[in-house]
Structure 1
Amino acid sequence: MSALLALLAGCQPEVGDPCRRTIDCGLQGTLSCDVSNAPNDPGNQGECTLENCSFGVCPNEAVCIKVYASEFASVVCDPVEEDRSTDDCLPHEVCLPEGLCGDELRAQTSCRRECKSDADCRDNYSCENTGRNGVYVAPDPDDPDNVVTTRICVPKP
């Protein structure tokens, strides 16, 4: 019986696995199917994700990523001086390393598959660095100023 349970546990969907609907991501309902890139996928599939995550809660194959909406990142700021000698961003915004104010209220988090190379990602996805273009590892609440970078699987353009 324990061998059967181990086998079933090994077959559970993971973050980044292809899907067409949420049930493809497991019966527990923990993961959901993000189909936002499905029209660009050759198999018309989305990917399993865990939405609204925070630092340290993703499964082993994934990391919590915070994405700032680029359409709202239009005010220029100085990441070194913001909140010290200048205050270009509004109170609900943060000055991103690329020098633009990012809206914390519209930022979204989700678990995304970590990778070391393109070979770790499924077809039509590539292994890309975080820490730029509004895509960051969700901060550690115990050390919010420590900007961590990693590589995640993202859809190819």
Structure 2
Amino acid sequence: MFQAGFAKRASFAAAHVALVASLLWGCTPQIGDKCVLSTDCSSSGDRICDTSQPGGYCTTPSNCRPNLCPDKAACVLFAGSVPGCFVDDRDGPAGARTGRAFCMARCENDGDCRSGYVCASPTDPRWGGVIMDNDQTQLTCMVAPTFSIDVDAGDAEAPVCGLGTGSDAGIDASAPSITLEAGTVPPLFPDAGPDGG
């Protein structure tokens, strides 16, 4: 009788633990969920809360890798190039080192996104993202734009990385040549003299 009662209580406890575990599993935060702290996204450290996004945004802690985001999310690179520069400072699709890649919640329509976010292509000029995954048609939950951008405004970028056009254009950056006269080595830079000129 004692063993039967103990077995019944143990079975009930196991069923209770399984029920609680299944409820908790269903409440696991997903990529794109709102958050305040990173622990709102994960207690194991595999997700962080991007507090720069409205209402917080659960994502992965470091630059995502193509096709490897959890929760069927998309890996999107932002700031993948420096405005005005005609070259990337990295080879391949990783873009400029100023860029950051985030796992973004995928969607099919605005109803799939939470309040303050819209379902759109991250490659739209309003966000300027680059989809890193093989599927380039993915839509993601993006911050709803609060302003519009005239994408036909022409080339309004400053040439921060352009070729020199000012007084520095004629500078010779080659190594100085040293000639020996009377057994002495001339100074690397000629002395401007007492009057500086």
Q: Give the alignment's TM-score, normalised by structure 1.
A: 0.69
Whole-angstrom CA distance in 2 between matches of 1:131 and 1:36 = 20
1:57 paired residue among 54, 60, 68: 68
What secondary structure does 1:64 align onto? Answer: strand
What is aligned with 1:4?
20
Amino acid at match of 1:118: D
CA contact (8 A) 2:88 2:96 kept: no
Report deviation, 1:48. Answer: 0.8
Report deviation, 1:36. Answer: 0.8
> 1:101-134 CA distances to partner (integer Å, 9 max, x unpaired)?
x942222111110011100000011011133433
CA, structure 1 residues 93+12, in 2 after alignment: closer, same or farther (shift >3 Å)? same
Report deviation, 1:63. Answer: 1.2
Between 1 and 2, higher relative CO (CA 8 Å, sep ≥ 6) is seen in 1
CA, structure 1 residues 139+152, in 2 after alignment: closer, same or farther (shift >3 Å)? closer
Long gaps (5+) in structure 2:
1-16, 146-197
Amino acid at match of 2:70: P
CA contact (8 A) 1:18 1:48 kept: yes
What is aligned with 1:30?
46
**Which deviates the most, 46-55 or 115-124?**
46-55
Q: Give the alignment's TM-score, normalised by structure 2.
A: 0.56
1:154 paired residue among 142, 148, 161: 142
Count of aligned positions: 126
CA, structure 1 residues 30+113, in 2 after alignment: closer, same or farther (shift >3 Å)? same
Larger relative helix fraction: 2
Whole-angstrom CA distance in 2 between matches of 1:91 and 1:52 = 17
Amino acid at match of 2:64: C
Amino acid at match of 1:109: A
CA contact (8 A) 2:65 2:132 kept: yes
Give me the identity figure in percent: 29
What is aligned with 1:41?
none
Larger relative strand fraction: 1
